Amino acid sequence: MLGFTLSKINLLIFVVAVFSIVLFFVFSFSQILVENIANDYVRIHAQDAFTLVGSPTLCAAQIHYLKDSIEASSGNSGRGLYYVLNIKQGTGKNGLNKMIFALAPRRTPETYMAAASFDTDAKMNFFDFQELITANPSKINIYDSNTMLDPQAKTQIDAYVLLKEVNLGETTIYVIPCSSRGGSDCSTLMGIAGQKIRPERFNCSYEN
């Protein structure tokens, strides 16, 4: 009887061990897949920005909407990785600037899991979402470092406008964070940012 009981216990231990190993590999594979999708995702955003910067237009803008989450498959809607997207400026080669799109898990925003970038001679300026929604010019600043997008924020920051302006031969890219809904929509916040950029004249329009 004792031998039979021990046999059952050993079998249970074996089954649990096998299940744990399988679960570990499934989880690891899922993580790798999510990281690959995240890398493709930021690469697309960087490529779109690179195309806009290199376009012959003197004044143009594009609006980009973010996914709610990064998901390994279409069947996992709502259960993917919640993330933040940091669009920032870095130092490129040969005196150029570097535009960087860096994605991190929302719970650890300082730990990037995917990034894409390109070098450019364009100057980069960034707006802050919380300052823009005040619609108060005295509280709105233009930064040269970065802006953070968070699709899961209380007021969703799940979109941004890339605005290119060429003035006196100098190209400047403005990154304007915005929301896909409510009074914080991209059209509204782009207008507010435009008044800060150039109060005397601002007539750029964005393309969807």
For the stretch 45-103, pLDDT in tens is 999 999 999 999 888 889 999 999 998 765 555 568 999 999 999 999 999 999 999 99
pLDDT score, position 77 = 52
Domain map (residue ranges) of the chain? 29-207
Pick from 80, 49, 52, 50: nearest CA to 67: 80
The strand pair at 206-207 and 59-65 is best described as parallel
In angstroms, the Cα distances linking 45 to 5, 114, 139, 158 are 60, 12, 29, 13
Instruction: Give the predicted TM-score (pTM) of the model.
Output: 0.81
Q: What angle do CA 74, 26, 40 make, to 5 degrees?
A: 45
Which residues 6+ apart lie within 8 Å of 174 measured at CB? Answer: 124, 125, 126, 127, 142, 161, 162, 163, 164, 165, 193, 197
